[in-house]
Copies of this chain bind each other. A is one copy, B any other.
Amino acid sequence: MLEELKKRVYEANMLLPKYGLITFTWGNASEIDRESGLVAIKPSGVEYDKLTPDDIVILDLDGKIVEGKLNPSTDTPTHIELYKAFSDIGGVVHTHSTHAVAWAQAGLDIPCYGTTHADYFYGAIPCIRNLTAEEIEDGYEENTGLSIVERYTKSDINPKFVPGCVCKNHGPFTWGKDAKEAVHNAVVLEEVARMAILTRQVNPSAGETPRYMQDKHFMRKHGPNAYYGQNN
């Protein structure tokens, strides 16, 4: 079972450079096995072209290493907080992809300017607040996860409907039913972030997509009567 999990997480991590989301080692993907509560994640600072499935680290939800000789990603506590709070998700991805980072550094939610966005994210993609000095001093990475959960709770955002966000002055986190889907959503977030920048460049007062159009697009892919694709 763990071999399968490590292989899937390895493959999801290798998609990150393939899709152009990664410079050097700036990113990581994980997946949780909900039955055993074990999380598999990329080791910290290991170059992608040297990564092997055996390097993937296995931890429990307390952050204790169960298997693996390498240090797990420093972002592991963030992944764990997301798994603990969002019970429906099975995979998490963090990157420093260029255009998503631009929104994070700008400190703004990404408005829903069109159907490319609405096909995957229902409403704006939130920009999560900065942590305080105290939150960073003690438990920075856990608190990053908790700040994401805080915003989704406060703003009543469904993490299944908005499967990703950007953390202020930092970068994007995305998730999905497994690591591969979390990678998929990381690609979408980056492309949507890029389109949104260009949209405002063409028309600084561009408006958001009418809500009924967002409903249509999100629901024809993800709603109970979805008719996009082959599985309906």
Residues of A within 8 A of B (CB): 23-24, 26, 43-46, 70-71, 74, 96, 98-99, 101-108, 113-116, 130-131, 133, 136-137, 140, 169-171, 184, 187-188, 191, 194-203, 206-207, 209-210, 212-213, 216, 220, 227-230, 232
Contacts and interface: CB of A to CB of B under 8 A. Distances in A.
Nearest to A206: B106
Given A103-B202, A140-B216, 12 more contacts: A23-B188, A24-B187, A26-B116, A70-B230, A71-B227, A96-B116, A98-B198, A102-B198, A115-B171, A197-B201, A200-B201, A200-B202
A61 B99 CA distance: 42
Contacts of A228: 44-45, 74
Copies assembled: 4
Contact of A199 (B102, B212, B220): B102
A61 B229 CA distance: 21
Of all A-B residue pairs in the complex, the 4 with the closest CB atoms, nearest first, are A45-B229, A102-B198, A106-B203, A106-B202
Contacts of A26: 116
A108 B202 contact: yes
Contacts of A169: 113-115, 209-210, 213
A115 B228 CA distance: 38
